[in-house]
Amino acid sequence: MHISVYQLKVSFALIIVTYFQASIAQAQTDKKLLIEPLVENFYVYTTYNTYQNSKVRANGVYLVTKKGVVIFDTPWDTTQFQPLLDSIQSRHKKKVIMAFATHWHSDKTAGLEYYKQLGIKTYTTQLTDELSKKNNTKRAQYLMTKDTSFLIDQYQFETYYPGEGHSQDNIVIWFPKDKILLGGCLIKGAKDENLGFLGDGNIKEYTNTLLKVQRKYPNPQYIITTHSDWKNINSLKNSIKMAKQLTANLELRHVVLFGWKAGADSAAVQNAIQAFGELPKHINFIKKYEWGINNSPEKLNQGLTHCFSLTFSSEKDRDKYLVHPAHIAFTKLLPTILDKVTVVDYWVKE
């Protein structure tokens, strides 16, 4: 087989290009600190750590203003606290003046104490501080007791606590001018297949929490996630989908047992039973309703003869049921005929 000089040159060039591209990719992978421009004076910075024997990224954001630089979430890699400051100084000729953490886990709070000692103002919510103290993670100097809006130079941003999800205290941060939503660990990537670590989270409330974020900030241009590719805007949508899957099979049982007064009017009893059975028609978040009369041969029912079971998707739905006008009207049928009542609520476990 004859190979021309031209073919050899082309092949050699392709090898060089491939090697060069691979070298760039490897260099990116080996970097401990990566800084990428987002929009205007916003930048996404990434550090890395090891989780379950894998190298995992942790994204944060910083904003350059005339008054100085504001960091949102501190580096996860403890060796990168100072290199981040040095990189900012070298690139922007500015000092960091403030640092925020979006929840108590160390991929957010690890650098708070280091930065506080350098005179940088550090911030978390009061709830985050309580959890940081309890779990022996780094704490901030200044605490926010409620959702707070800040104005630094011409840049405004606000903190928002939507409820429990990834953790008890997770907040998001919104930059209205540029429509940037910093989702932290609450929001996962658009291509993620699960919601990650949930040991400190609330799987029952995760969906509601994310929906609150979506309703409050319906049209973000950028959503910055922590451990995933932040360039895909579908991250919140995917996170909601995964959160709904978490609770798809969760059911909360509300079990009510009645014992009637001796000599109670039978028509009144039947009317009450019928009214109980009518509640699902008026309260649409009752997922399932069933009832029956005790026939246990053990005779341990202690005078309770009628059992009613209602199924809900969440404790909030159960709580709304308890104060619903239809339920309140039903309970007013009971005082003259009811002798005993027992109520037990539980999450179904298989």
pLDDT tens digits, residue range 287-316? 999 999 999 999 999 999 999 999 998 888
Q: Who has greater pLDDT, 18 or 212?
A: 212
Ordered structural domains, the chain, with CATH: 32-247 (3.60.15.10), 252-347 (3.30.70.100)
The pLDDT > 70 percentage for the chain reads: 91
Residue 206 has pLDDT above 60, yes or no: yes
Angle between helices 206-216 and 235-247 (to 10 degrees): 150
Confidence at residue 350, expressed as pLDDT on a 0 to 100 scale: 66
Residue 67 has pLDDT above 60, yes or no: yes
- Distance in angstroms (rounded) separating the CA atoms of residues 275 and 207: 32
Confidence at residue 4, expressed as pLDDT on a 0 to 100 scale: 54
Decide: pTM greater than 0.85. Answer: no
Q: Give the chain's mean pLDDT.
A: 91
- In order of 63, 71, 96, 97, 159, the CA distances from 66 in angstroms are 10, 14, 11, 11, 21
Residue 188 has pLDDT above 90, yes or no: yes
CB 62 within 8 A of CB 70: yes
Name the token pair of 264. 């109670």
Classify 65 as helix, strand or coil. strand
If you ran DSSP here, which 8-state letter would residue 261 be given? P
Confidence at residue 25, expressed as pLDDT on a 0 to 100 scale: 40
- In order of 191, 240, 323, the CA distances from 211 in angstroms are 19, 7, 23
Confidence at residue 7, expressed as pLDDT on a 0 to 100 scale: 52
Q: Who has greater pLDDT, 247 or 49?
A: 49
